[in-house]
Amino acid sequence: MITAGSLAAVSANLSHAHRVALSVAAVVIVYWLAHVYTESQEMLFEGDHRPLYRRTPHAAAKEVSILVGAAPAIAVYLVLYLTGLSSSVAALWALWFSVAFLSVIGYLGAHRAGIGGWRLVLESAGAASLGVLAVLGKLFIH
């Protein structure tokens, strides 16, 4: 979601693909670092008496899904740009990819939790709707 939102915002003002990709990656990394810090502090409040430099690697490993989740949309953006699409069009398609990706992740999570029927469809659609908000944000920015 963070990747989709920052891709929508950054691609509106930058036309150079490498600058868009690096800007989005920077936003994701700062977001991840904020989560690492928060997790390391939570560990402290839960009674973990290890120093910060010992808690941080564990917190970073726990929060790595933020980086993993961001990689597909950035990769899609770069591949589309390298195939000849403009930066803005590649970003729009990468955002639509994010919608599908979020939908699949929502579906898989709900399915794993044992949810079925209409609730499964609603979980998937709800996750996808977050990506649709990023697409709408990009369209309104332009």
pLDDT along the chain (142 residues), means of 10: 61 66 84 93 95 95 93 92 90 91 94 95 93 78 64
Q: Specify the residue for token string 């990689």.
A: 71
pLDDT at 42: 96
pLDDT at 11: 60
d(CA 91, CA 109) in angstroms, rounded, equals: 26
Q: What's the pTM value of the predicted model, to 2 decimals? A: 0.77
CA torsion through residues 83, 93, 33, 65, sign = negative
Which tokens is 127 given?
Answer: 């996750």
d(CA 88, CA 86) in angstroms, rounded, equals: 5
**How many domains is the chain partitioned into structurally?**
1
Closest CA to 20 of 9, 32, 35: 9
Domain coverage including residue 132: 2-141
d(CA 11, CA 87) in angstroms, rounded, equals: 7
Q: In 3-state terms, the chain is what percent helix, strand and coil (to 5)?
A: 85, 0, 15
